Homo-oligomer: A and B are copies of this chain.
Amino acid sequence: MTKNKVLQNKEEIYKINEINVGKDFLFIAGPCSIEGYPMALESAKAIIMNGANILRGGSFKPRTSPYSFQGLQQEALDILKRVKEETGVPIVTEILDPRHINNSLDFVDIIQIGSRSMHNFPLLKEVGMIDKPVILKRGFQATIEEWVYSTEYIYKEGNHKIILCERGIRTFETYTRNTLDLSAVPIMKRLTGLPVIVDPAHATGKKNLILPMCKAAIACGADGLMVEVHPNPSQALSDPGQQINFTEFASLMKELKPIIEFFR
C-alpha cells in the first residue's frame, strides 16, 4: 500500500459555520441539480427543518451523455447564493473545471470534487491551493490506494480541509447502480485521519436501500451522510430514480437520529 508522504493521520477540527468538522455529524442533503430558485429555497428549508446541516445542490453536472441536462451553471450559483443569504445554511456544490474556481464561488462553503473527477489532477491541484473545505468523492473506478493519492494531490498543495466521500464502486453487479464499499469508511479513516462520509443513493441507485445503507454507514463509523432530496423526484431533471421527497426525508431522519446518537 501507498506510503503516504504528506498526510499526518491526525484529524484536525475546523468550523463551517456552527459545525465542527471532524467532530459533529455532517448531514448533507438537497437536490441533485438546482433547477430554479423556488425548489432550491424549499429544499433548503425542508432539509434544515428535519435536521440536516448542509445543503447540496448541483450547478455544473457531469453527465455521461452530452444530451442530458448539464446544470444551470452560473445561474445555479446565483440561486444558491440567495438561498444561503436567506437561510444561513452552508452550501456544497460540485465543480468540474479548474476555470470554475473564481469569485463566483466565494460564498460556497464546501467544494465537491465528484467521482468522475477524482483522477482530474489539474483540478485537484487547483482546489489544493484554495482555503476552503473540499469533499473528495471516490472515483467509482478508484482503488483505495488511488483515492489516497488523489487526497494527497490536494493536501500537498496546502489545503488540509478534505472530507472524503464513499459513493460506491463499479463492479459486475447490475442489480444496484454501483456497489457501496462500506469497508472504505474505516479504512480511509485509519489511512488518512480525515472525516469520511457516505452517499448511499448514488451507490445503490435505489430509494429503498437508502435507509438500511445509512444505518450501516453510521454503524461502521461514517462521519456524515449525503442524501439527495427533491420536492418532486419524479420530475427531477437528473437522477429521478434515487432522490427522495420531503416526506420520505423526514421519515428517514426520524429513523436515523437515534442511531446517530447511539453510535456517537
Instruction: Say how many copies of this protein the assembly contains.
Output: 4
* A175-B96 contact, Cβ under 8 Å, with A66-B153, A141-B140, A153-B66: no
Which B residue's beta carbon lies closest to that of A218? B219
Residues of B within 8 A of A208 (CB): 186, 190
**How many residues on the A side are at the interface (Cβ–Cβ under 8 A)?**
62
Q: Which residue of B lies closest to A61 (CB)?
A: B121
Docked Cα-Cα span, A208 to B187, in Å, equals: 9
Question: CB of A44 within 8 A of chain B?
Answer: no
Say if the beta carbon of A146 comes within 8 Å of chain B.
yes
Among the stretches A47-55, A104-112, A209-217, A243-251, the one at the interface with B is A209-217
**Contact status of A181 and B173, CB under 8 A, knowing A146-B64, A216-B217, A216-B220:** yes
Residues of B within 8 A of A121 (CB): 62-63, 66, 96, 116
A97 to B220, CA, bound (A): 37
Interface contact B219-A149, CB-CB below 8 Å: no
Q: Complex Cα distance A59/B79, Å?
A: 40
Question: Among residues 164 to 206 in chain A, which have CB atoms less than 8 Å away from a CB atom of chain B?
Answer: 169-176, 179-183, 185-187, 190, 203-204
